[in-house]
Amino acid sequence: MDALILAGGENNRFLSHKALAEVRGKRIIETTIELFKKYFNKITISTNTPELFFYLGLPMIGDLMLQKGPMTGIYSSLVSTGAPELFVAACDMPFIQAGVLELIMRHYEGQDAVVPVFEGRPQPLFGIYSASVRDAMKLHIMQNRKALRDLLQDIHPALIPEEEVRAADPEGRTFININTLEEYRNLVIHI
């Protein structure tokens, strides 16, 4: 299985690229790559600003459609790589727990997607998406229905029960992400 890191966000609320923010002395995207190298042979970055990530030496894919958002990045990567499935993570998740990654991989048996549930909601920015969802994604994007949670209602995902997710990550640290500069500052203060 190959992995995809979604780094195509516009970062309007962060002022710079979130993937390059440092947590514990290391850029978030570098921490994710370090973990992913233990599990995946190929790691691709979905981005429309490749100049920011050339230094990582990884393949990059830009959006095939004008609509922005994570679904467009996943769709473009499934089409461009020809991979049968991709393990997907957002670039702004500094505390991904290996146990949650392994749990998701154990649950994958060819379903359209495998997504963990935490705090009563699917967490679609950390999971597996099969190439079987490309057509559904394209339709959603063309209809400007860009929320991955909406997509999950129209496909056949395996949703990992919260109890299993909490057994691997009781506090849900995997699902902490950074959207604003204020969130980043608060996070850095409290670690």
> What is the C-alpha end-to-end distance of the chain, expressed in Å?
32
pLDDT, residue 79, reads: 96
Which ranges of the chain would DSSP assign to H, the alpha helix?
Answer: 28-36, 70-81, 98-107, 134-142, 148-154, 162-168, 181-190
pLDDT band with cut points at 50, 70 and 90 for residue 103: very high
Bridge-partner residues for 157, per DSSP? 113
Mean pLDDT of 47-52: 92
CA angle 67, 69, 75 (to 5 degrees): 80
Unique residue bearing structure tokens 């506090």: 171
* Model pLDDT for residues 106-125, shown as the tens digit of each residue: 999 999 999 999 999 999 99
Which residue has better confidence, 15 or 20? 20
* Model pLDDT for residues 127-163, shown as the tens digit of each residue: 999 999 999 999 999 999 989 999 999 999 999 999 9
Please give the residue range of the domain that contains residue 105.
Answer: 2-190
- pLDDT at residue 183 greater than cutoff 80: no
Count structural domains, the chain. Answer: 1
- pLDDT at residue 45 greater than cutoff 60: yes
From residue 46, give the alpha-carbon distance in Å to each of 60, 78, 189.
Answer: 6, 11, 29
- pLDDT at residue 60 greater than cutoff 70: yes
- pLDDT at residue 12 greater than cutoff 90: no
* Model confidence pTM above 0.85: yes
- For residue 130, give the CATH number of its domain: 3.90.550.10
Which residue has better confidence, 17 or 144? 144
Which residue has better confidence, 133 or 11? 133
